[in-house]
Copies of this chain bind each other. A is one copy, B any other.
Amino acid sequence: MEDSTVTCPISEKEAKELIREKKFSELRGILLRMYPADIAEFFEQLDRELCPILYRILPKELAAEVFVEMDPDFQQILISAFSDYELRQMLDELYLDDTVDLIEEMPANVVSRILKNSSPEDRKTINELLQYPDDSAGSIMTTEYVSLKQDMTVDAAFELIRRVAIDKETIYNCYVTDANRKLIGIITAKTLMISPRDTKIADIMEHNVISVRTLTDKEEVAILFSKYSFLALPVVDNENRMVGIITVDDAIDVMHDEAEEDFAKMAAITPSETTYLKTSVFSIYKARIPWLMILMISATFTGIIISSFEAALSACIALNAFIPMLMDTGGNSGSQASVTVIRGLSLGEISFSDIMRVVWKEARVAILCSVSLMALTYLKIYLLDYLLLHSLTADEALIVPLVVCFTLGVTVIAAKLIGCTLPILAKKIGFDPAVMASPFITTIVDAVSLICYFAIAASMIPGLA
């Protein structure tokens, strides 16, 4: 970030200098003034051998926070440099959801070292968390939340919070459960702070709790966070027993990942989790080439359509010049509709039951757009191609603009309707709507517009059919 307000207080060269001179306490002083995410970034710019040395001069709590922020390959370097004792210390500091994320990224031998060095209790929870599917609320939750009882007083609640705070991801939302661990209420630290000390939790807790299930889609979780401005959301099992919480920072990560995935898919790229500059050339190639190949092969149909009308094209070669414009305008019209609908689906604003409303809306938009574009095209062909550039003969000028305009009108309407229905249908039958987006729709629209073009030309231009 060029204009960031955050600057790194030390350069790589200075750090190396301090390490060479063994001025570790000075270095430690500098690192202590930095945020974990910045320290992680700084470490990743250094030589890989320096990383473990620098890591060890951090106090252990900060060290764990830095560790969480690092890329998996650096995490692996660090773990291989750790003694079992160091690894245990670090795992002790990590929240369990971060440990689970780590395990998911590491190779098998590292995973077994991590599990070996976790307490039996943690190991049990980790194994449970690992069971949840990748896209579920369970996969992003943590089990470290504050649980209160309804007959506690505010004072007792504070006492408990103070005791457990250090190990909890958040203490600002506390969850009230009954003897069977069922979630019966929620209370914020703010309410606790402004309530008299002898008040019973039952009297001040919020009873209408919005919760999600462990298998709720994490995209839906993110939608709830942005709709209700939550700081945390409880996760319950099928019997409404409290199993964990999801905090807002994890929800932000989900929103971010989902949006970036949609961007990638719409540009016909297999989504990746690493940032562009950190991704290797070969990984980028692998994420892009299958789509380019599939789309190129599918463009073959377009070629076959053109080939089959070769005779017509030789008879009226002027028709040729309008093919790119027809295809591009169709493609653009279609992706306007599809991108709008895909995002609406992703954000939960549009569902399958809205399909007729969407089609009716797009149909009217399409008619307005196609009339405007037809008028503009007619003028453009007549003025520019005929009068100015003379690329049409007088005979052609009578009929070609009409053929092009009719085709354009049909193409725009077809493109908008295909663009808005295909993603909804794709989602309904369990496909990813974003994958069906612009590129595929473009291919279909291309074929439709060419077939219309030649059919209309054949029926309007004598001797062409």
Contacts and interface: CB of A to CB of B under 8 A. Distances in A.
A179 interface: no
Interface SS of A by simple majority: helix
Can you tell how many copies of this chain the complex includes?
2
B343 A263 contact: yes
Interface string A23-44: 0000000000111010000000
A296 B439 contact: no
A438 B269 CA distance: 14
A193 B189 CA distance: 10
Given A306-B324, A328-B296, A277 B162 contact: no
Nearest to A443: B328
Nearest to A339: B267
Given A292-B369, A446-B328, A208 B35 contact: yes
A376 interface: yes
Interface residues of A, number: 131
Interface string A205-229: 0011011110011001001111111
A336 interface: yes
A193 B358 CA distance: 52
A64 interface: no
Interface string A329-345: 10111011011110110
A56 interface: no
Interface string A286-323: 00110111011101101110110010011001101111
A322 B293 contact: no
B217 A3 contact: yes
B292 A306 contact: no
A310 B377 CA distance: 21
Given A321-B307, A329-B295, A5 B211 contact: yes
Nearest to A268: B332
Nearest to A281: B364
Nearest to A314: B317
A429 interface: no
Most buried by B among A5, A35, A277, A328: A328
A208 B30 CA distance: 11
A161 interface: yes
Contacts of A3: 216-217, 220
A75 interface: no
Most buried by B among A288, A310, A343: A288
Given A264-B339, A307-B391, A351-B2, A327 B325 contact: no
A140 B274 CA distance: 30
B332 A295 contact: yes
A190 B190 CA distance: 11
A370 to B, nearest CB: 10
Interface stretch (A13-21, A79-87, A110-118, A251-259): A251-259
Contacts of A353: 2
Contact of A285 (B166, B293, B343, B368): B368
A124 interface: no
What are the 8 closest A-B residue pairs judged by CB atoms, nearest first?
Answer: A267-B339, A229-B249, A1-B348, A302-B324, A299-B325, A303-B321, A259-B259, A307-B321
26 contacts: A4-B348, A5-B211, A5-B216, A6-B224, A37-B228, A162-B193, A172-B190, A259-B259, A263-B263, A263-B343, A269-B336, A276-B341, A276-B344, A277-B349, A292-B369, A292-B373, A293-B376, A295-B328, A295-B332, A296-B328, A297-B380, A304-B389, A306-B324, A310-B317, A310-B391, A331-B331
